[in-house]
Structure 1
Amino acid sequence: MKATELRQSILQAAVQGKLVPQNPKDEPACELLGRIQKEKAHLIKERKIKKMPPLPEIAENEMPFEIPENWCWVRLGQLTELITSGSRDWAKYYAPTGDIFLRMGNLSRGKFDLRLDKIQHVKLPKDIEGMRTSVQAGDLLFSITGEIGTLGLIPDNFGTAYINQHTAMIRFVTYEKNKFYPYLLLSDYAQKFYNGNQHGIKNSFRLDTIALLPVPLPPLEEQHRIISKVDELFALCDELEAEEEKLDALEAHFTEYLPKAILQAAVQGKLVPPNPHDEPASELLKRIQQEKAQLVKEGKLKKEKPLPPISEDEIPYDLPEGWMWCRLGEITNVIMGQSPKGDSVSACKDGIEFHQGKTLFTDKYLALSTQKTNAPTKIAVANSVLLSVRAPVGAVNIIERDICIGRGLCGFNTFCFMKPHFLFYFLKSMERSFIEQATGTTFIAVTGEVVKKQLFPLPPLEEQQCIIAKVDELMTLCDELKVAYTIPVVPSSHNNIIPFPATQKEEETLLVARGDVGQLSNEAMQAFNDLFAEDEE
C-alpha cells in the first residue's frame, strides 16, 4: 500500500472512532454540541454572526458507518459561525504588493497546507467592504468550483488576506477551531459526499451543501487525541512517501541501473567466489611483463617509459585476495589512433578496413565498415578492445579482425592469453570516469597518458574467465527483464483502504516486490536469486 492510500486509511479510521481508544471520562459529544449551540446563540444575540436557516435532521441512510457510543452525528453547519464564498471582480485591484488574495491555486489536494509559492496581492480602496471575506486564524478554505474539496487552513499570525469567489471559507466556533475537521474533510468519506453533490457543467458546490455534510462528532478531548495520532502517523507517511519517490526513481531506471551494478560487482571481485588455487594476479602480471619485454626485444613492440607507481591515495576500493592494482599501460599495448591521409580512404579502394570513431559501435562487437585504406597508420589487431577517446568519449567495443583506427579511437591489445572481454566490461564500467577526465573546448578528448595511467583491477586469469561467463549470463537476463518491464501490469480493482480494527493488533508486515516478473524464465529467476543470495545471509 502506498503512502497516499495509507493516509486515507488513517483518516477513515479517525472519523469512525477506530484510531484511538475512547475514554469513558470524556465529556460526551452531545454535551459538547449543547455548549456549541449556546455559544452560537450568544453570538447571534450580540449580532456577531447571522442566524442560519435550520438544518434538517440526519436520516438513517445518511449515516454510512457506526460511531462510538459517546460520539454523535451532526451537520457541519451546526459547528460553524460562518460559511461564505469570496469576493468577485477583484482583479481590478491586483497589485505587486498589498494584502494577500487567496485563490484556488493556493489550496492543496490531499493536505490542508496553504501553497504560497504563487501569491496574488490586492490594494483595496477605502470604501470597499471586505470584512466578510477577510480570513482569520483557524478558518478553513474550501474550493467550490472545478476541483471540489481542495483545502487550506489559515495559520496563526497570517496577516490580512481575502479569498476569491471560487473559494469558500468555513469558520468554526471557538471550541472546534482545531485540525479534526480539516482532517475529516480530507477523508474518503467526505470526498464521496462532494462527488455526490456537485452541480452544473463546471462542477460547482453550493455553500448550503457544505453545511449539510453529516459529521461524526467526537468528544473534544478525543478530538485532540485523534489529531495528535494523525499528526504522528502522517509524519511517518511523509517519510514513506519520500522513500517511495526514491524507489519510483530507481524503478523507472531499473533496467538501466542493473547492468551497471553487475559490471561494478564484476570489476570489484564481488560477482563470483574466488578460488584459492588460482594463480594470483601478481604472477600473471610478471608473465605479462616478460611477454612484453620479449616483444620489445624482437622489435615487435616499442619500449615505453615506465609508468608511475600506484599510491594509496589513488586506490578507489579494496580488492579480493589474489587480485592486484596495476595500470592499463602495464597489462596492455595501448594504441592511440591516427587517421591516414584522406585520399587513401574510400569505399572503392582495396586495403584494410578503416574506422575513424565509434559510428559503427554496437552493444559489444564492432560492425563492418565499407571504408578502407591502402595507407594504414595505426592498426588494432583482432581481439582487441576499442575505446572512443574523442567526441564522444567512453564508448567501448571488441573487434574480431584487424582494422585501421583513426584519432577518435584507442585500441588495447592484451597479453598472456587474456581474453578481451574482462577488459571490455571494465572499460564499460569506467565510461563516466573517462568523460570526467576528458579535456578540450571545441570537443572533449582523452589523452594517451590518461588512458595508460588508468588504474586496472587485475584478477587471476582463471577468475577472469568465470567473471566473463557470469556477466554474459546476467546481461542476457537483463535483456529479458527489460522486455518484461515493457509489459503493462493490470491494476487491481479491489479497495485498498485498510479496515482498521477497533482494538490494537500486531500483524506481520510483508514486503512485496513491485512489477510483473511472470515473463522471466526459470533460469532468469534462479540466476537473480543466486546473485543476491549473499545479501540474505
Structure 2
Amino acid sequence: MPIPPINEQKRIIEKFKSLDFVIQQYEKSYRELNNLKQELFPKLRKSILQEAIQGKLVSQIADEGTAQELLEQIRQEKLQLVKEGKLKKSALTDSVIYKGDDNKYYERINAQTVEIELPFEYPNNWSVLRLKDICQLIDGEKRNGKGICLDAKYLRGKSSATIVEKGKFVYAGDNIILVDGENSGEVFTVLQDGYMGSTFKQLWLSSAMWKPYILAFILFYKEDLRNSKRGAAIPHLNKELFYNLPIGIPPYQEQQRIAERINELSQLLK
C-alpha cells in the first residue's frame, strides 16, 4: 500500500469528498433524465400517432382525390370473402358515418340514423368508418403437420421455438393480435410461417387500405384496449370496443405518406 505524507493524505480525502459530491449530483441528474425519457418518449409516440390519425401529420393533396372511392372497394372485397367463407356475414353490416350540414357527425345503420360523438375532426377528403369495416378477427387456416408455434414469448424473442403438430396456420407477413392475457390488443407481424399461439387471432385487414396505416391506428389505441379488458381470471380483448373504434380513412396515397412519416419520426425517437 503506497503511503503519502500525512498532509497529502488529508488533501486526497478533501479532493475525494468534493468529487464525490459532484458524482452524486451527476447520478441524480442521470436518473432524472432517464425517468424523463421513459415518460416523454411514449408521450411523443402517442402524439405522433394522434396527429397521424387526425390528418395533421402530413398535408392533404387535392390530386390524390378522396377516400370515397375506397369504400366500394372495401365493400366488394368483403362480399367476396363472405362468399368464400373467409369472413362471417356479420362483416357485411356496414355503418355509414357522415358530417351533416350542421357540422355534426351522424351514423346510419340500415334505416336508422343517429347523431354520434367522434373523438376528432377529420379532413374533408377523408371518410369515417368503424374499425370492423376494414379489420376483422379471424381464426386462421386450420392445418395438420409439424410447424413452429408462434406464441407471444417466441415472437418477443424471449423463448426458443417449439414445434406443434397442428393448429391455426398463418403465413409470414400476416398480422396477429393478442386477444387473451394482460397485453390484449398487442399486434405482431409474423416473420415466418407457423401456427398461432392459443391466445391469438389473425387480423384480416382490407387490401383497399395501406396496412401500416391501420396498424398505426390500432397502436394508438393500444393502452385503451389493454385497460378495457374483460374477464377476471383470464382477461380478454374487449372486441366490442375494438370493432367500434371510429377510424378516419384518408385517400390511399395519403395513407402511405402518413405511414412513411410515422416511420421517419419513430427512427428519430430511437
Tell whether the structures are fold-level matches, with TM greater than 0.5: yes
Q: CA offset at residue 286 of structure 1?
A: 1.2
Q: Distance in 1 between matches of 2:244 and 2:170?
A: 20
User: Greater helix share, 1 or 2?
Assistant: 2
SS of equivalent residue, structure 1 residue 413: strand
Q: TM-score, normalised by structure 1?
A: 0.37
Which aligned pairs between 1:193-208 and structure 2 lie closer than 5 A? Answer: none
Aligned equivalent of 2:150, options 355, 358, 361 = 355
Superposed CA offset, 1:166-213 (max 9, x none): xxxxxxxxxxxxxxxxxxxxxxxxxxxxxxxxxxxxxxxxxxxxxxxx
Given the superposition, is the C-alpha separation of residues 414 and 339 from structure 1 closer, same or farther in structure 2, using an over 3 Å criterion?
closer
Aligned equivalent of 2:176, options 386, 405, 409 = 386
Superposed CA offset, 1:96-142 (max 9, x none): xxxxxxxxxxxxxxxxxxxxxxxxxxxxxxxxxxxxxxxxxxxxxxx
Aligned equivalent of 2:61, options 241, 259, 275 = 275
Structure of greater relative contact order (alpha carbons < 8 Å, 6+ residues apart): 2
AA aligned to 1:351 is: K
Q: CA offset at residue 271 of structure 1?
A: 0.4
Q: CA offset at residue 296 of structure 1?
A: 2.6
Q: Distance in 2 between matches of 1:386 and 1:446?
A: 13
1:373 paired residue number: 164
Given the superposition, is the C-alpha separation of residues 383 and 469 from structure 1 closer, same or farther in structure 2, using an over 3 Å criterion?
same
Superposed CA offset, 1:400-456 (max 9, x none): 444432342232222335342112211111012112331111132114444333322
Q: TM-score, normalised by structure 2?
A: 0.68
SS of equivalent residue, structure 1 residue 446: coil
2:129 paired residue number: 326
Q: Distance in 2 between matches of 1:252 and 1:400?
A: 28
Given the superposition, is the C-alpha separation of residues 294 and 256 from structure 1 closer, same or farther in structure 2, using an over 3 Å criterion?
closer
AA aligned to 2:250 is: P
Maintained 8 Å contact 2:87/2:138: no
SS of equivalent residue, structure 1 residue 383: coil
1:500 paired residue number: none
AA aligned to 1:284 is: L
AA aligned to 2:67 is: A
Given the superposition, is the C-alpha separation of residues 428 and 452 from structure 1 closer, same or farther in structure 2, using an over 3 Å criterion?
same
1:265 paired residue number: 51
Confirm whether residue 399 of structure 1 aligns to residue 185 of structure 2: no
User: Greater strand share, 1 or 2?
Assistant: 2
Q: CA offset at residue 262 of structure 1?
A: 0.8
2:28 paired residue number: none
Task: In structure 1, list runs of 5 or more residues that go unmatched.
Answer: 1-248, 345-349, 480-537
SS of equivalent residue, structure 1 residue 411: strand
Computing the radius of gyration from Cα coordinates, the structure with the larger value is: 1
Q: CA offset at residue 367 of structure 1?
A: 9.2
Maintained 8 Å contact 1:267/1:426: yes
| RMSD (Å), alpha carbons | 3.2
Q: Once the two structures are aligned, what percentage of the paired residues are identical?
A: 28
AA aligned to 1:409 is: F
Maintained 8 Å contact 2:178/2:185: yes
AA aligned to 2:161 is: T
Confirm whether residue 433 of structure 1 aligns to residue 224 of structure 2: yes
Q: CA offset at residue 372 of structure 1?
A: 3.5
Q: Distance in 1 between matches of 2:37 and 2:148?
A: 42
Which aligned pairs between 1:1-12 and structure 2 lie closer than 5 A? Answer: none
Maintained 8 Å contact 1:339/1:407: no
SS of equivalent residue, structure 2 residue 62: coil
Maintained 8 Å contact 2:91/2:132: no
1:464 paired residue number: 255
Given the superposition, is the C-alpha separation of residues 334 and 298 from structure 1 closer, same or farther in structure 2, using an over 3 Å criterion?
same
Given the superposition, is the C-alpha separation of residues 254 and 447 from structure 1 closer, same or farther in structure 2, using an over 3 Å criterion?
closer
AA aligned to 1:275 is: I
Q: Distance in 2 between matches of 1:460 and 1:303?
A: 27
Q: Distance in 2 between matches of 1:360 and 1:338?
A: 20
SS of equivalent residue, structure 2 residue 195: strand
Maintained 8 Å contact 2:91/2:133: no
Maintained 8 Å contact 1:390/1:446: yes
Q: Distance in 2 between matches of 1:382 and 1:279?
A: 33
Q: Distance in 1 between matches of 2:228 and 2:66?
A: 31
Maintained 8 Å contact 1:361/1:396: no
Maintained 8 Å contact 1:279/1:461: no
Task: In structure 2, list runs of 5 or more residues that go unmatched.
Answer: 1-34, 96-106, 108-113
AA aligned to 1:320 is: P
Q: Distance in 2 between matches of 1:373 and 1:281?
A: 43
Q: Distance in 2 between matches of 1:369 and 1:417?
A: 36
Q: Distance in 1 between matches of 2:227 and 2:93?
A: 21
Q: Distance in 1 between matches of 2:206 and 2:94?
A: 21
AA aligned to 1:353 is: I
Confirm whether residue 410 of structure 1 aligns to residue 213 of structure 2: no
Which aligned pairs between 1:9-408 and structure 2 lie closer than 5 A? Answer: 253-304=39-90, 306-307=92-93, 309=95, 310=107, 312-336=115-139, 351-356=146-151, 358-362=152-156, 370-377=161-168, 379-392=169-182, 393-408=184-199
SS of equivalent residue, structure 2 residue 120: coil
Q: Distance in 1 between matches of 2:193 and 2:38?
A: 40
SS of equivalent residue, structure 1 residue 359: helix
Q: CA offset at residue 301 of structure 1?
A: 3.9
